[in-house]
Chains A and B, each alone.
Chain A
Amino acid sequence: NAGVTQTPKFQVLKTGQSMTLQCAQDMNHNSMYWYRQDPGMGLRLIYYSASEGTTDKGEVPNGYNVSRLNKREFSLRLESAAPSQTSVYFCASGWGTQNYGYTFGSGTRLTVV
């Protein structure tokens, strides 16, 4: 049972390049999330998808786009990477109700130079 799988694990981009971070879950969860983790700031929500076919902005959506491809997959795209987007990105999934926690992937460490 893989849980939440993220690819790639590491990536270095040049300023202005684009890339897509992939996430897939095999727990039949309804909701999926993208967070970024920066030192001293905890996790901040970028985008989320409450159910297949819907996406909504979180706390820090600027510079990102997302696609909920199907119930299993939720991708995050950086159209024109900036150094401020250097971070560790985590995908998570959950049932979408407040009483249940999330299952997290192992993260993508992105460096923009």
Chain B
Amino acid sequence: GDSVTQMEGPVTLSEEAFLTINCTYTATGYPSLFWYVQYPGEGLQLLLKATKADDKGSNKGFEATYRKETTSFHLEKGSVQVSDSAVYFCALSYNDMRFGAGTRLTVKP
């Protein structure tokens, strides 16, 4: 069935470092792809999305490009801040929303 695999964490970076969190998917159809962010003690918040191949989603300095040829949707940010520390979830939506296991990011000053 449809599924999402994302890189295991935790990921620890220094402030202003470059961030990549890998996400690949398996789907029989043409899903939409999402990144969600979860801050401590809160629910998931939609960070960005892409609904078709070659679309780029972006928000708050984060970007991800829907790559059909590599079935990937990697999350990137050029310069992370301490406030970006959170758990990030990749997800796909076709018949329903399927989530990856989450990647915990810690950014140190």
Our verdict on whether A and B bind, yes or no, reads yes
Give bound CA distance, A25 to B94, whole Å.
23
Min Cβ gap B7→A in Å is 13
A91 to B99, CA, bound (A): 14
Does A99 contact B51, Cβ atoms closer than 8 Å? yes
Cα of A81 to Cα of B49 in the assembled complex, Å: 36
On whether the beta carbons of A40 and B101 are closer than 8 Å, the reply is yes
Contact size class for B? 20 to 34
Known: A41-B101, A42-B99. A98 touches B94 (CB 8 A): yes
CA of A104 to CA of B39 in the docked complex: distance in angstroms?
12
Q: Which of A66-110 contact B (CB under 8 A)?
A: 90, 92, 94, 98-99, 101-107
B44 within 8 A of A: yes
Most buried by B among A33, A40, A42, A107: A42
CA distance A33 to B97 in the complex (A): 10
CB pair A42 B89 closer than 8 Å: yes
Instruction: Provide the bound-state CA to CA distance between A110 and B8, in Å.
Output: 25
B53-99 CB contacts (< 8 Å) to partner A:
89, 93-97, 99
Please judge, given known A-B contacts A41-B101, A42-B89, A48-B96, whether A101 and B42 are in contact too, CB under 8 Å. no
Distance of A41 Cα from B21 Cα, bound (Å): 17
Q: CB distance B94 to A106 under 8 Å?
A: no
- A61 CB–B CB distance under 8 Å: no
B37 nearest CB across to chain A (Å): 11
Assess whether A42 is in contact with B101, with CB atoms less than 8 Å apart.
yes
Residues of B within 8 A of A33 (CB): 97
Q: Are A106 and B36 in contact (CB under 8 A)?
A: no
Q: How far is the CB of B74 from chain A (nearest CB, A)?
A: 17
Does B96 contact A101, Cβ atoms closer than 8 Å?
no
A–B Cβ pairs within 8 angstroms, 9 of them? A42-B89, A42-B101, A43-B44, A43-B89, A90-B44, A92-B44, A98-B93, A101-B36, A104-B45
